[in-house]
A = this chain, B = another copy of it.
Amino acid sequence: MASKRIGIVGGIGPSATVLYYQGLIGGYYDRMKDQHFPEIIIHSLNFEEINQYFEHDLGLLAEKLVGVVRGLQKSGCDFALFACNAMHMVYDDVNRNISLPMLNIIECVLGEVQKKQVRKVGLMGTTHIVRSGIYQRLLDMAGIECLLVDEEEQSWMMNAICQDLQRPSVPSSTLARFLRNVDDMGERGAEGLILACTDLPLVVTEENSSIPLFDSTQIHVKAALDLALGLRPLK
């Protein structure tokens, strides 16, 4: 049986896009033990241009993403996803204006948090995503308490994600400060931590984290592979 064709809106940032691609290819091979990899079309965007939209014009962002998703549909993709949490700020606006099924990262993550019966969860991501409240709203509706880092750390973290995590190697002081924030979440009672930015797994991992992780990238990739292989239905 042929896999479905996967559309990826990527480039925000490029390292995360590589994690998605490698995760899909590696995940396919681990499950199927053959190399009939699903066709994947990645449209990688201009990082700086999209960051400007995040900060100044979500309307233009939605417009741009509608065009990109339509392009993926014309190229034969069966479904698409944003390889970036922050793009989900305009998910509903985009979704209303396209007919291609989309796979929402926040719904995928909430599903995993509920499956593990976690009642209090930490949330780490860009300032865009934290301020937008898109995770908090869904968690709140599900009766799950959500912890954030304080404003000073949030502002440092945003800068580190946009700069240090886009380089080939991450400075050790940056890594250490991320891990101090993880420890702090645990001390405040978080039973798990949502990595709500597709670049965070570059620094916070199962190996170095003191509390269990909900890695949004990994959860999203697994769900996409399930969809491509027909193991879960397209909406």
Contacts and interface: CB of A to CB of B under 8 A. Distances in A.
Contacts of A26: 168
The SS class assigned to the A binding surface is mixed
Contact of A14 (B11, B14, B21, B44): B21
Interface in A123-168: 166, 168
15 contacts: A11-B39, A17-B21, A26-B168, A35-B47, A35-B48, A35-B166, A37-B44, A37-B46, A39-B44, A39-B46, A41-B44, A43-B75, A71-B75, A71-B76, A74-B75
A21 B44 contact: yes
A201 interface: no
How many copies are assembled? 2
Looking at chain A, what size class is its interface with the partner chain? Answer: 20 to 34
A25 B36 contact: no
A46 B39 CA distance: 6
Interface string A27-56: 000000011111111111111110100000
A199 to B, nearest CB: 13
A119 B47 CA distance: 43
A18 interface: yes
Nearest to A13: B35
Contacts of A48: 34-37
Contact of A46 (B38, B41, B166): B38
Contacts of A74: 71, 74-75
Interface of A: 3, 11, 14, 17-18, 21-22, 25-26, 34-49, 51, 71-72, 74-76, 166, 168
A25 B45 CA distance: 11
The 8 closest A-B pairs by CB, nearest first: A40-B44, A35-B47, A42-B42, A71-B75, A14-B25, A35-B48, A36-B48, A41-B43
Contacts of A39: 11, 43-46
